C-alpha cells in the first residue's frame, strides 16, 4: 500500500465568501482555518498547501461572547526594551476590525512557512464590499 500524495496539477483552488455578520469570532476562525488548510478536500495532505482562498466581509460586525470586549487583550512587542504594547478587543475593533479575524485565524494555522503561505490566501474586509468579484467566490454559511 503506497501513501497518496497529491500532485501540483491535482489541486484546484476555489474561492469562498463568508459573511461575518453576527458570527462568533472563534467559530468563524476555526471554520476559516479549516478551509485554508484544505481539510474539507479529499486530497488533503498536511505537508502541502492544498487549501482554498477565503474572503470574509463585514468583519466589523463579528461578535464575541461574555466579557471579551473589555477583557480580551492583544499584545505585540516592538522589539525595543519595554516595548510591549497591548490593546483591548473593543478598541481594536473600532480601529482595525480586519486584524481581529486575521489574528484569530492565523493562530489556528501551522507556525511555519506553510502556515504563512496559507494565511496569504485569507482576505478580510470591514464592510460588505470586496474587489474579488472576478474570481466568482462561492458564498457559504457557517
Q: Which CATH superfamily, name and number, covers 13-64+93-140?
A: Ribosomal protein L13 (3.90.1180.10)
The confidence score (pLDDT) of residue 80 equals: 97
Among 61, 35, 62, residue whose Cα is nearest residue 50:
35
Least confident span in 17-21, 35-39, 43-47, 127-131: 43-47
What mean pLDDT do residues 15-31 have?
Answer: 96
Phi first, then psi: give them for residue 16, nearest 5 degrees. Answer: -120, 145
DSSP string, 74-136: EEEE-SSTT-EEEEEHHHHHHH-HHHHHHHHHHTTS-SSHHHHHHHTTEEE-SSS--S-GGG-
- Report whether pLDDT(67) > 90: yes
The confidence score (pLDDT) of residue 6 equals: 81
Q: What pTM was computed for the model?
A: 0.92
Amino acid at each position: 500500500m503506497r501513501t497518496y500524495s497529491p500532485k501540483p496539477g491535482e489541486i484546484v483552488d476555489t474561492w469562498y465568501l463568508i459573511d461575518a455578520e453576527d458570527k462568533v469570532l472563534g467559530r468563524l476562525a476555526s471554520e476559516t482555518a479549516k478551509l485554508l488548510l484544505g481539510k474539507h478536500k479529499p486530497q488533503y495532505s498536511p505537508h502541502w498547501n492544498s487549501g482554498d482562498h477565503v474572503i470574509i466581509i463585514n468583519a466589523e460586525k463579528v461578535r464575541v461572547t461574555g466579557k471579551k470586549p473589555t477583557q480580551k487583550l492583544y499584545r505585540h512587542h516592538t522589539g525595543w526594551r519595554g516595548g510591549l504594547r497591548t490593546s483591548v478587543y473593543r478598541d481594536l475593533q473600532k480601529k482595525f476590525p480586519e486584524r481581529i479575524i486575521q489574528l484569530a485565524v492565523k493562530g489556528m494555522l501551522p507556525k511555519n512557512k506553510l502556515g504563512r503561505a496559507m494565511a496569504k490566501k485569507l482576505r478580510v474586509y470591514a464592510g460588505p464590499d470586496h474587489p474579488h468579484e472576478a474570481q466568482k467566490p462561492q458564498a457559504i454559511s457557517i
